[in-house]
Amino acid sequence: MKEQVIISLTSWRKRIGNIPRVLDTIWEQTYQPDMVVLNLAEEEFYNKTLPAAVQGYIVSHQRLRVNWVKQNTRVWKKFLPTFNLYPDALIIPIDDDILYPPTMIEDFMRVHERFPDSPISGNRFWYKGVKCHCGCASLVQAKHFAGWQDYYSRTLRANCPSSDLFYTYLAAANGYFYEESDVDYMTTAITYNEVDGYSRSMPGNKLAVSRKAIFTAMGVEVVRMFTHDDIKPFCVLGAAQTEKGKEIETELLSWLVPNFNVYVVRHDGRTFEYAAIHFLQEVMTRCDAPCFYLHTKGAYYTRNVSHRVRNMWKHEFVEKRDEYLRAVLSEKAIVATPYTGTDKVTWYNGWCANAAAIRKLNIIKTDDRFYYEYKLFDKAEVIGMRMGDVNGDNRIAMHNELKERFD
């Protein structure tokens, strides 16, 4: 007997306009659900009145059911009320701001065949040492959350930092542990918000949220300098919070922001590069994307070479940006940097690395600024885009070029 598959989601008045576009991606699935349940709180919509376009969309789709709930439990009503309607079905919760790829349900069902009794996770993240499984893309059954009414209360909602944490713990309390899908849907899906105009995520819009909280606790400020309204390569800027460092940060952002989706990682201390590169590794490996890195060169050591290096970075990473991206387009761990040598040094520590190389970063916490030039990529191939044979005793040509071209 074929199991019933139900898509479940919720929304609210500021996002309800997303529903037609989001659900269009469900009707385009290679494996079709039996029903889509949209759980809405009565208090959010006066007289249960929806925008005309949304109401018309609902009427025109027979497999779309609106389930009105009296208690507005916000994100928690994404799928828990759906268990009351379909207690024996497979429930796939989705978000109201994500455009899902067409094979999502098919992928979940394939994993479900291997693990028929387990919840299936389509996204996972770490929260204070606990591996959480995200409700925005998963496959669950009522038995996984048996007794949720007993656990669920306003007190719990107020004190539990994450609904995903609650789902993870409650499934375990019932003796069920998440299996993982072959695809991480928070790094392959597209975020869509009809109100704000967001058109993409990964990792800035959602994945970096939990990371940002962790880095804030470390005394590190992470600032996202983009709103996902354009598809541009990612760049992390390590920013020392000295007076000179802040001045250099402004200079670098003037040409970085138009060309990259930039994260600025600010830290008050000589370990600012450690904080920035640590953030880069934590976040960028989640989206399997290449990333550029540079820092506020000259924030602590103001020498003639500092401004030359920054000018050189502007030339290389703006005018030749796509050449660097093509250079690291590989499954192998590859780093492209303006100058390198036989010992895999990334002179001045500005580079573009692919996800495979970022995963292999040899990060230690140190204020030795030379460490990040000499030791960071000892497990990756390093390509010198301007010069590839600059070694410790052979730097005159590099310095001369900087002076002649970028002074």
Closest residue by Cα to residue 99 from 185, 207, 224: 185
What are 156's two structure tokens? 């719990």
Lowest mean pLDDT among 184-198, 224-238, 250-264: 184-198
Report long-range pairs for 139-143 (Cβ below 8 Å, ≥24 apart): 139/90, 139/91, 139/92, 139/108, 139/109, 139/111, 139/112, 139/181, 140/79, 140/90, 140/91, 140/92, 140/93, 140/167, 140/171, 141/89, 141/90, 141/91, 142/83, 142/87, 142/88, 142/91, 143/174, 143/176
Mean pLDDT of the chain: 79
Q: Classify 171 as helix, strand or coil.
A: helix
What's the pLDDT score for residue 162?
61
User: Does the model's pTM come out above 0.75?
Assistant: no
pLDDT band with cut points at 50, 70 and 90 for residue 301: low
Extents of the domains making up the chain: 5-191, 218-406
Q: How many CB atoms lie within 10 A of CB 264?
A: 21
What are 27's two structure tokens? 């009707």
Determine whether domain 5-191 maps to CATH 3.90.550.10.
Answer: yes
Rounded (10°) angle between helices 396-406 and 304-314? 70
Asked if 104 and 190 touch (Cβ cutoff 8 Å), the reply is no
Q: Classify 124 as helix, strand or coil.
A: strand
Asked if 205 and 226 touch (Cβ cutoff 8 Å), the reply is no
pLDDT at 38 over 80: yes
The H or E element containing residue 115 is: none
Q: How is residue 319 annotated by DSSP? A: I
Phi and psi angles of residue 261, each rounded to the nearest 5 degrees, phi first: -90, 105
What are 371's two structure tokens? 């460490």
pLDDT band with cut points at 50, 70 and 90 for residue 228: very low
Find the Cα–Cα–Cα–Cα dihedral 387, 389, 394, 398, rounded to 10°.
0
> What percent of the chain lies above the pLDDT cut of 90?
30
Helix, strand and coil percent figures for the chain, each rounded to 5: 40, 20, 40
Asked if 262 and 239 touch (Cβ cutoff 8 Å), the reply is no
What are 177's two structure tokens? 């542990």
Phi and psi angles of residue 124, each rounded to the nearest 5 degrees, phi first: -145, 150
What's the pLDDT score for residue 121?
81
pLDDT band with cut points at 50, 70 and 90 for residue 341: confident
What's the pLDDT score for residue 224?
59
Asked if 30 and 105 touch (Cβ cutoff 8 Å), the reply is yes
